[in-house]
């Protein structure tokens, strides 16, 4: 237990916010957020300026930047928990509780907000949600990782935040113009970047809990360790494609040269007749027009980009089967699709555990701590009759997202299992015909054997 004199004050909190490591973390998370939302060109341009010196080269490259955003595509693909809406109900079902849940889903725009939270979580490995009142209406918003900082004073569980700082504004020319909302279980106040608390009537946190739900993929750490691969590969691929566009500009056309002749406004047209005069030299050299063809390996450069993207997708538990920049047009079989989806399905199950816990925590905090305060203070508009049972607890179930399997796919899978010795032919027939009983399965097997015998006999007679 911390002594009172050991507890952090607003000045200490400001020092932590503006520490070099935390500012670097905020800037990195903000960069991820901006690139995800389309602000990519600026970061590619910065990378080009670091790599090249000559202004004319930099200018040419910048004009040919290829800002293809793979970060957004990968993050959206990984954040698949809320593709289909989950089912929410009380653990102990009641009509009143279900009506209140339905109303909260509508007021909070819960599925939309949670989908956004899912994407911010996969982008930065951490995000938060905050219930709040807007003109008397209960609302919910997602906080990306660069908009808050976590601090822990818990010596036993230092991975659990005891102070939540929401950055209302940060990064101004003067710290005194920055604003931060500080929350603990007992206190709530707003301060500037110098740690000076703004005047207010009461510093008490009436909720008795920190009114934010934080999700992170490393529960044993207060703040997750950031990945470098996604953003680094994003910039690297953009640079490679930009290099290709730059090279194509200067090597898309052949270079024409003359030997033993003067180049005096020679015009090249399909029906032109070109006359070349000998140079006035002692040794007469037959005039000649030649052409140097470009040797840029466009296919090779695209293959390099494809290989990098394939490796990135593999590390992110995504299928590489459909990755091709060369237009091969290969179509995956049903079995390949199932196998490719195995890793992403496993990742989704891990995410479901995180988000189901987050939703239960959100409803617990909201129904037990936040909503009663809003009602008692008449802050909430009375048209929103949100009444939950005293012992209300939320249950969330997420729909199965297994890949669709056609009848052809099922037959192919069972055939592979039989050929690999993993099951019997009878068991495969039973699985492919679940509507049949044992006697009907026996009859079907006999019929199949008879067809095989008749087929062999027919073939023999034909020969």
Asked if residue 231 has pLDDT above 90, the reply is no
> Regarding predicted confidence, which is higher, 149 or 3?
149
pLDDT in tens, 118-167: 999 999 999 999 999 999 999 999 999 999 999 999 999 999 999 999 99
Q: What is the pLDDT at residue 440?
A: 85
> Regarding predicted confidence, which is higher, 184 or 418?
184
In the 8-state DSSP scheme, what is residue 278? B
> Is the CB of residue 66 less than 8 Å from the CB of residue 241?
yes
> Nearest 5°: phi and psi at 391?
-100, 25
Asked if residue 74 has pLDDT above 80, the reply is yes
Residue 33 tokens read as 């957020």
> Is the CB of residue 223 less than 8 Å from the CB of residue 240?
no
Best CA proximity match to 305, nearest among 242, 248, 247, 228: 242
> Is the CB of residue 32 less than 8 Å from the CB of residue 26?
no
Helix or strand run (H / E) with residue 10: helix 10-17
> Regarding predicted confidence, which is higher, 123 or 7?
123
pLDDT grade for 335, boundaries at 50, 70 and 90: very low
Q: What is the mean pLDDT of residues 187-216?
A: 92
* Residue 140 to residue 116: CA distance in whole angstroms: 12
Q: What is the mean pLDDT of residues 374-383?
A: 92
Q: What is the pLDDT at residue 407?
A: 74
> Regarding predicted confidence, which is higher, 461 or 29?
29
**CA atoms 450, 455, 458, 463: torsion sign:** negative
Q: What is the pLDDT at residue 6?
A: 54
pLDDT grade for 329, boundaries at 50, 70 and 90: very low
Largest Cα–Cα separation, the chain:
110
Using a pLDDT cut of 90, give the percent of the chain over it.
43
pLDDT in tens, 75-117: 888 888 998 899 999 999 999 999 999 999 999 999 999 999 9
**CA atoms 452, 453, 456, 461: torsion sign:** negative
Helix (H, G, I), strand (E, B) or coil at 273: coil
pTM (two decimals):
0.73
Q: What is the mean pLDDT of residues 213-226?
A: 92
Best CA proximity match to 143, nearest among 17, 10, 14, 30: 30
pLDDT grade for 10, boundaries at 50, 70 and 90: very high
Best CA proximity match to 114, nearest among 165, 69, 80: 80
Best CA proximity match to 148, nearest among 33, 17, 36, 11: 17
Q: What is the mean pLDDT of residues 41-51?
A: 86
């Amino acid at each position: 237990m911390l002594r009172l004199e050991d507890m952090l004050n607003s000045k200490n909190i400001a020092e932590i916010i503006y520490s070099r490591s935390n500012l670097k973390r905020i800037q990195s998370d903000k960069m991820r957020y901006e690139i995800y939302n389309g602000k990519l060109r600026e970061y590619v341009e910065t990378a080009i300026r670091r790599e090249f010196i000559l202004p004319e080269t930099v200018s040419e490259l910048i004009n040919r930047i290829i800002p293809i955003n793979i970060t957004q595509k990968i993050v959206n693909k990984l954040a698949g928990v809320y593709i289909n809406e989950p089912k929410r109900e009380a653990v102990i079902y009641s009509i009143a509780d279900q009506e209140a849940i339905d109303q909260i889903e509508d007021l909070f725009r819960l599925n939309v907000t949670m989908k956004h939270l899912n994407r911010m979580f996969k982008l930065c490995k951490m995000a938060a949600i905050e219930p709040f009142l807007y003109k008397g209406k209960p609302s919910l918003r997602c906080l990306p990782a660069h908009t808050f900082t976590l601090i822990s004073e818990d010596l036993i569980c230092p991975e659990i935040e005891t102070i939540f700082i929401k950055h209302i504004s940060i990064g101004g020319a003067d710290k005194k113009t920055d604003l931060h909302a500080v929350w603990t279980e007992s206190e709530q106040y707003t301060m500037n970047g110098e740690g000076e608390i703004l005047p207010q009537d009461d510093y008490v946190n009436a909720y008795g809990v920190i009114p934010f739900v934080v999700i992170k993929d490393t529960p044993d750490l207060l703040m997750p360790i950031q990945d470098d691969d996604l953003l680094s590969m994003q910039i690297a691929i953009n640079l490679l494609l930009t290099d290709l566009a730059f090279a194509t500009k200067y090597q898309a056309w052949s270079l024409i040269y003359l030997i033993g002749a003067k180049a005096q406004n020679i015009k090249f047209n399909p029906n032109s007749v070109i006359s070349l005069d000998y140079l006035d030299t002692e040794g007469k050299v037959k005039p000649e027009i030649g052409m140097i063809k470009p040797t840029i390996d466009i296919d090779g450069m695209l293959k390099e980009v494809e290989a990098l993207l394939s490796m990135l997708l593999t590390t992110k538990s995504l299928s590489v089967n459909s990755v091709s920049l060369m237009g091969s047009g290969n179509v995956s079989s049903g079995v390949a699709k199932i196998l490719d989806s195995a890793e992403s399905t496993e990742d989704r199950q891990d995410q479901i555990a995180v988000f189901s816990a987050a939703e239960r925590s959100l409803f617990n905090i909201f129904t037990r701590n936040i909503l009663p305060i809003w009602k008692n203070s008449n802050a909430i508009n009375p048209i929103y009759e949100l009444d939950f049972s005293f012992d209300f607890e939320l249950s969330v179930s997420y729909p199965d997202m297994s890949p669709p399997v056609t009848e052809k796919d099922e037959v192919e899978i069972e055939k592979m299992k039989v050929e690999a010795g993993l099951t019997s032919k009878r068991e495969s027939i039973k699985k492919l015909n679940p509507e049949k009983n044992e006697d009907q399965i026996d009859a079907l097997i006999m019929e199949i054997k008879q067809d095989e015998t008749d087929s062999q006999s027919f073939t023999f007679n034909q020969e």
